[in-house]
Chains A and B, each alone.
With several copies, the nearest count.
Chain A
Amino acid sequence: MSITRFDEPAAAEFREDVSAWVRDALPDMWRTSRAVMTPEEVQSAQREWDTALYEGGYAGLAWPAEYGGRGFGPIEELIYYEESSRANAPDGFGRIGRVLAGPTIIAAGTDAQKAKYLPRILDGSEIWCQGFSEPGAGSDLASVSTTAKKVDGGYLVNGQKIWTSFAQYSKRCLMLVKSSSELPRHHNLSFLLLDMEQDGVDVRPIRQINGEEEFSEVFFTDVFVADDDLVGEEHEGWRVAMTVLSNERGTTEAATRLVEATAQIDLLGRCCAAGSDDAARLDDRRELLRWHILRSTEEKAAELDWFVAGSILKVQWSELIQDATRLGLDSGCAEHRGYWRHHYLASKAMSIYSGTNEIQRNIITDRVLRVAR
């Protein structure tokens, strides 16, 4: 039985457990010398963290117990994210596996897939990435053009994915491909689990607007995927993808963004825009976002009209961070000029990824307010 309200005593107890564990489990180096670590040291701390999560029992919080998880609900997840961000815990490499690949395989995979993949996702030994976005598809995910051609015993994958996090570290990729050029839209896609350590997989980092390389493009040339690695029915991958994406959005992402917004808004209030109405208003909005996340999490746990929250949260946090960084630029403290320029440019992507804010608004009118077109 998982927690459904934050006012249950169990919620406070769980928070204490998490908080104590995070304090203990943080990699030493991360705690003491995070600011001066080399990129290699950061990577090694991230891998260490994946292992620590597994050993501490925090890798599969919301996974059912039969697959090694704890069987918890959204409230425990939120508490975990709040406490780990409060402690500035690292972001492990295993996030896509734990949050997307695992739950997808649990929901739609075969017994063989479960046995083969789940343990290595949980223990952090195999890193996953996701291959949904494509340059030509954009917001219209159903129009992916990476193809899977049926061959003896499996498929040959050809095409290009983009905005792929962790691609350079990944053993596997969960991906949506076009498996039929004849079947109708939404029934022409398949969902595959692809081994990234093959010839024909070419990972190229993308240089972004702020000069960083957070994401990659991945090119696939005749890459083999065995029949055993098809998830769900052939050509019915769209249905599987919808499961994954409904996991992707929502309170968890918002909670991590809240941490980001908090750091920025604190800096504005403490230094760059101290005492201004603008900074005070952003702080009010930040506090509102926090409550909106709590409220949404409880509604999700109580299975109230949960569907609603994801799009609203996405619009809220993306616009909050964009407005905060814009105020940072405009309030113009010399010492933090570089900080704000960097975060301002990076924030421009937030109204686009995870579903553009225009798409979120479409979703609200279509599916929440149910106004037919």
Chain B
Amino acid sequence: MSTLVGEVGALVAENVSEVLESTAGSEPGVDRSTWQILAEGGWGTISADPENGMELRDVLEVARISGRHPCSTPLITTLLAGRWFEVDDDTLEDGVAVAFARGDQVVAPFWTEGLVVLDGSGSPVAVEPSAMESFSLVAPVAVLPASTSALGGDHLAEARAAFVAVAVGCADAVIARAIDWSQTREQFGQTIKGFQAVRHHLANAHIAREQAWTAAIAAAHDPERSGRWARQGFSLAREAIELGIQVHGGVGFTWEVGLQHFLDEVVQLDSILGERR
């Protein structure tokens, strides 16, 4: 057991990061055109071939990177599906979403038209576009037919680890913005980075984010307790984001600033993947 990322993971993460930095839109929602570029670069199929040596820990590294961007792509679910199922490369290049249980529903988060949805055994599920949850403006969720089998067992455990890593990426994004904001925003004649209360909020956000990252890594190594790790990981990532929003003051609440995307994404993921007490 090692908690460190492997070479493949570091390489993929670096390349995916470059693509997302250069192309990804800043609007929340699933960004098809960015996915196109990633798929063409071969990043969607890389986990499907065992010879490439991509481990779950490596997927986490990529998941964290992808969580940092407000737009979503099916990269993580595609990488996971490539690990788990016999899926042909064409399907992987189209992008894959997977079916999760949420309460008594089965849902596919981050789904958009054109993505293939796989059920818990890797078989495709037909999705009506009308199945989109109307409430989920920022992190689209498709409600699947009730008969769909949802992900379970080790696959669910791996998905939990990967999506806690996505949540850590969300926290990374909000903390980075909070740091920037603290260096430009003036209050009472000084930038707010001078206030120890703001500085300690940032420190506490960092502590929570690092702990969440540990939870993601632990989840990858300890599948039997993945539900507990997911609960802790999402909760810690959320705490980091809450603090980052508090640092922003009132502007943290406006749609335009866009912090809600990250918070809401973590809340949604938690409702699907976190184990309830």
Contacts and interface: CB of A to CB of B under 8 A. Distances in A.
Interface in B135-190: 135, 137, 175, 179, 182-183, 185-188
Nearest to A185: B189
Interface string A292-335: 10110011001010001000100110000000000001111010
B207 A316 contact: yes
Interface of B: 1-4, 102-105, 135, 137, 175, 179, 182-183, 185-188, 193-200, 202-204, 206-207, 210-211, 214-215, 217-218, 221, 225, 228, 231-232, 235, 242, 245-246, 249-256, 259-260, 263-264, 267, 270-271, 274, 276-277
B276 A288 contact: no
A350 to B, nearest CB: 10
A371 B276 contact: no
Contacts of B203: 360-362, 364-365, 369
28 contacts: A139-B187, A139-B188, A163-B250, A206-B254, A208-B254, A277-B277, A292-B211, A298-B4, A308-B210, A316-B207, A316-B211, A330-B235, A331-B277, A337-B271, A338-B135, A341-B135, A341-B267, A341-B271, A345-B263, A345-B267, A349-B253, A352-B253, A356-B246, A361-B200, A365-B202, A365-B203, A373-B193, A373-B194
Interface string A159-172: 00011000000000
Contact of A5 (B4, B137, B276): B4
Contacts of A304: 4
B246 A371 contact: no
A330 B276 CA distance: 7
A207 interface: yes
A348 B206 contact: no
A288 B179 contact: no
B256 to A, nearest CB: 8
A21 to B, nearest CB: 23
A209 B4 contact: no
A138 interface: yes
A362 B256 CA distance: 30
B94 to A, nearest CB: 30
B267 A344 contact: yes
Contacts of A369: 175, 179, 202-203, 206
A358 B103 contact: no
A251 interface: no
A177 B92 CA distance: 59
Nearest to A335: B103
Given A371-B183, A372-B193, A312 B228 contact: no
Nearest to A137: B187
A138 B185 contact: yes
Interface in A105-151: 133, 135, 138-140, 143
Contacts of A264: none
Nearest to B267: A341
B271 A332 contact: yes
Count chain B CB atoms within 10 A of each CB in A316, A348, A368 and give the residue with the most.
Answer: A348
A135 B3 contact: no
B210 A312 contact: yes
Interface in A258-303: 276-277, 280, 284-285, 287-288, 291-292, 294-295, 298-299, 302
Contacts of B263: 209, 345, 348
A83 B204 CA distance: 32
A299 B4 contact: yes
B200 A332 contact: no
Interface of A: 5-7, 133, 135, 138-140, 143, 162-163, 206-211, 276-277, 280, 284-285, 287-288, 291-292, 294-295, 298-299, 302, 304, 308, 312, 315-316, 329-332, 334, 337-338, 341, 344-345, 348-349, 351-353, 356, 358, 360-362, 364-365, 368-369, 371-373
A138 B250 contact: yes
B197 A361 contact: yes
B182 to A, nearest CB: 7
A140 B195 CA distance: 13
A291 B3 contact: yes
B276 A332 contact: yes
A83 to B, nearest CB: 16
B193 to A, nearest CB: 5
A295 B211 CA distance: 10
Nearest to B270: A329
Contacts of B3: 6, 291, 294-295, 298-299
Given A295-B3, A315-B207, A348-B242, A331 B103 contact: no
A208 B255 contact: yes
B102 A345 contact: no
Nearest to A278: B277
A47 B36 CA distance: 53
Contacts of A276: 277
Contact of A135 (B175, B235, B251, B277): B251
A302 B6 CA distance: 12
A365 B194 CA distance: 11
Contacts of B264: 209, 341, 345
Given A210-B260, A299-B4, A361-B200, 4 more contacts: A139-B249, A209-B263, A288-B214, A298-B4
Contacts of B259: 209
Nearest to B197: A358
Contacts of B267: 329, 341, 344-345
A341 B214 CA distance: 26
Nearest to B235: A330
Nearest to A351: B246
A207 B254 contact: yes
A369 B201 CA distance: 12
Contacts of A139: 187-188, 249
Contacts of A302: 4
A330 B267 CA distance: 9
Contacts of B182: 371
